[in-house]
Amino acid sequence: MAKRSTIGENPLDAVNQENPLDTVVPDLSAMPRGGRGQSAAEALPAVQERLQELEASLKGLRTEVAGLKTVAGEAASLRGTIAGLTGDLAGLRREVEPLKAEAAAVKALQAEVTQLKAELARLRASAGPGDLPFWMRGRKK
């Protein structure tokens, strides 16, 4: 048998060896980050100002969102109230129809009473004291 040059070496160790590209392309995660060509000392105040502006706008947005949540809750409550009022309105409309019929009947009765009063007045005017029944005659004086 012929001897191989790899006898005694683990072929998986080759995976753990350094890659020659690591020397050509540096590891970017190990490099310090700077702001677009600026040094870290120059970028720090500008970044701090921008951060403060963003935090202020974030606080304003949180306040606005809290207000919107309150308004949304009130709107939901009003929707429930409107739904209840719609049911009440339908109930009132159902009650109004019989009342309208009763009002028409009352008007008819009022017209009949008016006719009877007019007829009674005509009878009183045309009849003499002896023509009236005893219960329609006036009191004796």
The whole domain housing 53 covers 45-126
Considering the domain boundaries, does residue 22 fall inside one?
no
Confidence label for 110 from pLDDT (cuts 50, 70 and 90)? very high
Confidence label for 125 from pLDDT (cuts 50, 70 and 90)? confident
Per-residue pLDDT, 59: 95
Per-residue pLDDT, 106: 94
What is the Cα–Cα distance from 114 to 105, expressed in whole angstroms?
14
Confidence check: pLDDT of 25 > 70: no
Considering the domain boundaries, does residue 65 fall inside one?
yes
- What's the whole-number mean pLDDT along residues 120-124? 84
Confidence label for 69 from pLDDT (cuts 50, 70 and 90)? very high
Per-residue pLDDT, 124: 76
What is the Cα–Cα distance from 67 to 73, expressed in whole angstroms?
10
**pTM for the structure as a whole:** 0.36
Confidence check: pLDDT of 4 > 90: no
Considering the domain boundaries, does residue 116 fall inside one?
yes
Considering the domain boundaries, does residue 24 fall inside one?
no
* Pairwise pLDDT comparison (52 vs 27), residue with the higher score: 52
Considering the domain boundaries, does residue 7 fall inside one?
no
The total domain count for the chain is: 1
Confidence check: pLDDT of 120 > 60: yes
Considering the domain boundaries, does residue 97 fall inside one?
yes
Token pair, residue 72, equals 């949304």
- Using CB atoms within 10 A of its CB, is residue 43 exposed (0-12), middle (13-18) or buried (19+)? middle
- What's the whole-number mean pLDDT along residues 89-107? 92
Considering the domain boundaries, does residue 49 fall inside one?
yes
Considering the domain boundaries, does residue 60 fall inside one?
yes
Q: How far does Cα 22 stand from its chain's mean position? A: 60
Per-residue pLDDT, 74: 94
Token pair, residue 104, equals 């028409």
- What's the whole-number mean pLDDT along residues 98-124? 91
